[in-house]
Amino acid sequence: MPCPFVFELSAFVLSCPQMMLSIPPVMNGQARNSSKLSLSWLSSDDSNSSVTTSDLATETVNPWDIALCVVGTVISCENAIVVAVIFYTPTLRTPMFILIGSLALADLLGGVGLILNFIFLYLLNFEAARLVSAALLIASFSASVCSLLAITMDRYLSLYNALTYHTERTTTFTYLVLFAIWVTCISLGSLPVVGWNCLEDETSCSVIKPITKNNAAVLSVSFLLIFALMLQLYVQICKIAFRHAQQIAVQYHFVATSSTSTRKGISTLSVILGTFAACWIPFAIYCLIADSSYPLIYTYVTVLPATCNSVINPIIYAYRNPDIQKSLWVACCGCISSNFSFRPRSSSDV
């Protein structure tokens, strides 16, 4: 009769294969879990290829974000040149060029903000970074729009008060106006940082997180009011230009020449105002009527032209100016072309 110990040993041996078969799934599950925590795209194990593919799919970069980053880079390069030229050229210290410098600085910061937004979105994705990026973008683009309004008012005053313009519009007064503009815009930009954001209540988010719908509505209405004021000022500029052209034509009998130059100036103003409206109005209206529940593609479609306005600004207000062209020519080539004019220029020439 076999010993009871033999039967127990036989039963244990027969149960060992089942135990061994039950262990690998657990170990494989642990291996899969650990592969998700590690740098799975560096693994060459074929069994984890599906995990690697899904992980990489979630990290795909949005092409619209790439486009905004590229636009931000172009904006930064263009306006950095303008800021450097105005800063290092002593002759460009008139109120007109100070205002252009403020516009270029605001657009430069806006371009930097777009680049930082891309970095914070894909590399440093935490709440503080998102708030800082939103604050910088709001402050810079608000300062850009306000600087455009200041340039428009400067043009109007240079024509309306042509005789007293140079005594009234001093450099100190211009700096005070710009100081008030930048303090206001920085205050607007700091609102998301101090708590006026939608990070805790996503139902209150606007089309651009973490900005609330109320904040976006205030900014949009302010922009529309600024645009209406700029439109009124440009209409008055056109009226004054027509009146001056008629006076010159009667006095010097240059009817054809004066009318041609006046039409050219009005067409230039129309291009300036039309470009500004086409870039910003769609985004401003969309911020008023939409919220975070709308498809994200609509936000990208409207915000991209708005940022492109900062690409166009240095071309319209800086690179077309002969004095800035002359400074660039000197900086790049060390000489001055004979085609440049050295006559004194006023704000109405910009």
- pLDDT tens, position by position, 29-44: 443 333 333 333 233 3
* pLDDT surpassing 60 at residue 237: yes
In whole angstroms, give the CA distance from residue 224 to residue 215: 14
Tokens representing residue 162 in the block: 């042509």
Amino acid present at 133: S
Mean pLDDT (whole number) for 149-173 = 82
Q: Which residue has the higher pLDDT, 147 or 251?
A: 147
* pLDDT surpassing 90 at residue 299: yes
pLDDT band at 90 (very low <50, low <70, confident <90, very high): confident
pLDDT band at 59 (very low <50, low <70, confident <90, very high): low
Nearest C-alpha neighbor of 268 from the set 323, 223, 320: 320
Tokens representing residue 32 in the block: 């899969």
End-to-end CA distance of the chain: give it in Å, rounded: 116
Q: Which residue has the higher pLDDT, 169 or 182?
A: 182
Residue 338 in 3-state DSSP?
Answer: coil
Number of CB atoms found within 10 A of residue 243's CB: 12
Tokens representing residue 61 in the block: 């970069």
Residue 233 in 3-state DSSP?
Answer: helix
Cβ 210 vs Cβ 217: under 8 Å: no
SS3 content of the chain, % helix, strand, coil (to 5): 80, 0, 20
| Torsional sign, CA 263, 248, 324, 81 | negative
**β partners of residue 212:** 205
Number of CB atoms found within 10 A of residue 94's CB: 18
Amino acid present at 10: S
**β partners of residue 197:** 211
Token pair 């009146």 is found at 243
pLDDT band at 257 (very low <50, low <70, confident <90, very high): low
Mean pLDDT (whole number) for 248-262 = 60
Please state, for a pLDDT cut of 70, what percent of the chain lies above it. Answer: 73
Q: How many CA atoms lie within 13 A of 29 on its CB side?
A: 4
Per-residue pLDDT, 243 = 81
User: Is the pTM here over 0.75, yes or no?
Assistant: yes
Q: Which residue has the higher pLDDT, 217 or 249?
A: 217
Distance of CA 164 to CAs 5, 9, 76, 149, 248, Å? 118, 113, 37, 21, 20
In whole angstroms, give the CA distance from residue 127 to residue 184: 24
Per-residue pLDDT, 249 = 67
Per-residue pLDDT, 255 = 52
Q: Which residue has the higher pLDDT, 348 or 136?
A: 136
55-59, 189-193, 284-288: least confidently modelled range: 55-59
Cβ 235 vs Cβ 155: under 8 Å: no
In whole angstroms, give the CA distance from residue 48 to residue 128: 35
